[in-house]
Amino acid sequence: MFPHRHLLGIEGLKAPEITTILDLSEAYVAQNRKTNKHLDVLTGLTQINMFFENSTRTQASFELAGKRLGADVMSMAMQASSIKKGETLIDTALTLNAMHPDILVVRHPNAGAVNLLASKVNCSVLNAGDGRHEHPTQALLDALTIRRRKGRLHRLTVAICGDIAHSRVARSNILLLGQMENRIRLIAPPTLLPSGIDQFGVEITDNMEEGLKGADVVMMLRLQKERMDGAFIPSEREYFHRFGLDEAKLAHAKEDAIVMHPGPMNRGVEIDGTLADDINRSVIQEQVEMGVAVRMAAMDLLARNLKAWRMRDAEVMV
């Protein structure tokens, strides 16, 4: 049902596997709403969170997810680690591997770093965001939110707006929503589109009115200034005027369109603050709630296979 050792990206996941994660997540959404949230699914297992880049939602929800499932969870403060003394990523990984973790959750500023690390350890690795590459659990939690709100995850028109070029969230969402046969529209100034994006089967425009027309879902992205090495927009004021989501622009989408944002938000830059807080349109808080459930489901599914993978490794080594 979910024959993977790691969760490194949406790339490589088949539609039924995505559905398997989302279906299991539903059970965890219900569990998380109970007063007693504790389960024994990961009891005895050790989960280490290594975040080499700042995070609020992702780190907190992976930590809660592991604790609610009964794992021994350790979150490393990577700023204070030996990486600062010059240790390489691989040496850090091998050191941790020697302590026999079962699950490693890794965020890293470089695309591909998490895949590299996964090839060096003998536990399950979950990618919590690597550079501009992928952020699979974000796309899964977005998918769960959409499926719950729209009653399905196919044949929807999804507009993804803003800084696509620097966004791993956009990339993972394009892969997932495409795999589930949705219509994807990217709305961005040409400077914020990655090269080669037209090969992903998406529609592209730099006009919000055109892009939002008939959309079921409007997904806004943060301007990722930390990944910009120059001026990509004339000014934030001008950007909000053309690409910031407000009531007037949203009126072009379907009447029941939902508004999403992965956070952290720049209010007044890519989204109007009042709209972001409007519980009739915005599902931003629900995305956060779904994040915990999706991460519980992902770790649960990976842990089910772990023993079998390790036995296979042992046979290969003999």
- Residue 41 or 276 with smaller CB distance to ligand ASP: 276
| DSSP per-residue string spanning 2-46 | ---S-B--STT--HHHHHHHHHHHHHHHHHHTSS-----TTTT-E
Establish whether the linkage from the previous residue to 264 is cis, with ω within 30° of 0: yes
The count of chain residues that interact with ligand ASP, using the rule CB under 6 A, is: 8
**CB of 169 or CB of 271, closer to ligand ASP:** 169
Measured from the CB atom, is 13 or 170 closer to ligand ASP? 170
Binding track over 109-138 against ligand ASP, x by CB under 6 A: --------------------x-----x---
262 is an interface residue for ligand ASP by CB under 6 A:
yes
Which residue, 24 or 184, has its beta carbon nearer to ligand ASP? 184
Instruction: Specify whether the backbone of 162 is left (phi greater than 0), alpha (psi in -120 to 50) or beta.
Output: left
Distance CA 229, CA 216 (A): 34
Detail the DSSP E strand segments found in the chain.
46-51, 72-76, 103-108, 124-130, 157-161, 183-187, 203-205, 217-220, 258-260
Residue 168 interacting with ligand ASP (CB under 6 A): yes
Collapse the DSSP code of 193 into the 3-class scheme (helix H, G, I; strand E, B; otherwise coil) and give the result: coil
Q: Does 259 bind ligand ASP (CB under 6 A)?
A: no
Judged by CB under 6 A, the chain residues 169 through 198 that form the site for ligand ASP are: 169
- CB-based contact 254:212 (threshold 8 Å): no
Closest contact distance (angstroms) between CB of 289 and ligand ASP is 16
Amino acid identity, position 175: L
Residues 187-246 that bind ligand ASP (CB under 6 A): 222, 224
Interaction between residue 290 and ligand ASP (CB under 6 A): no
Least CB distance to ligand ASP at residue 34 (A): 27
Q: Based on CB atoms, which residue is closest to ligand ASP, 162 or 211?
A: 162
Rg (the chain; Cα; Å)? 20
The one-character DSSP state at 60 is H
Q: Give the binding site for ligand ASP (CB under 6 A).
A: 129, 135, 168-169, 222, 224, 262-263
